[in-house]
Amino acid sequence: MTNLATTTIRPFVPGGKDFALSKRFYQALGFEMTFEAAGVAGFTCDSGSFLLQDHYDEGWGNNFMMQLIVRDLDAWWAHIQALDLPGSFGVPEPRPPALMPWGLTLAYVIGPCGELWHVVQG
């Protein structure tokens, strides 16, 4: 399988409800925009990356989930709270870290297109 080695997987995240707002949202969270071309913007944060797509479908956005695994959930939660995401971006209030029945402690953040992020200590 050495010829089938991969280096990364980059999902396409919905961002087209208001593409400019979505780009600012992810930059405020701490993602770095590495490029933008033809309705797609690339974002990275340490070892993770994704492509923000200038496309929106309500059903897709409201069913899209990502998991961001972080070293220090308390530090991320303090950062998220300081951003006032609802006031700054019109998104729902983030949900604070809580222990889930399946054993993970996670916080919820919802993006401008309804996309749900699970921020997890890992």
Residue 27 corresponds to which tokens in the numbers above? 């930059």
pLDDT tens readout for residues 33-57: 999 999 999 999 988 899 999 999 9
Number of domains in the chain: 1
What is the pTM assigned to this prediction? 0.93
Residue 48: domain span: 8-121
Give 6's pLDDT tier (boundaries 50, 70, 90): confident
**CATH number reported for the structural domain that contains residue 44 in this entry:** 3.10.180.10
Q: Is the pLDDT of residue 80 over 90?
A: yes
Q: Is the pLDDT of residue 1 over 60?
A: no
- Per DSSP, the residues of the chain read -GGG------PEEE-TTSHHHHHHHHHHHTPEEEEEETTEEEEEETTEEEEEES---HHHHTT-EEEEEES-HHHHHHHHHHTTHHHHH-PPPPEEEEE-TTS-EEEEEE-TTS-EEEEEE-
Pair 60, 11: CB distance under 8 Å: no
In the block, tokens 């396409």 appear at: 12
Pair 113, 16: CB distance under 8 Å: yes
Whether residue 2 is contained in a domain is answered as no
Q: What is the mean pLDDT of the chain?
A: 95
CA 91 and chain centroid, separation: 13
Whether residue 115 is contained in a domain is answered as yes
- Nearest to 14, CA basis, from 63, 49, 54, 48: 54
Whether residue 3 is contained in a domain is answered as no
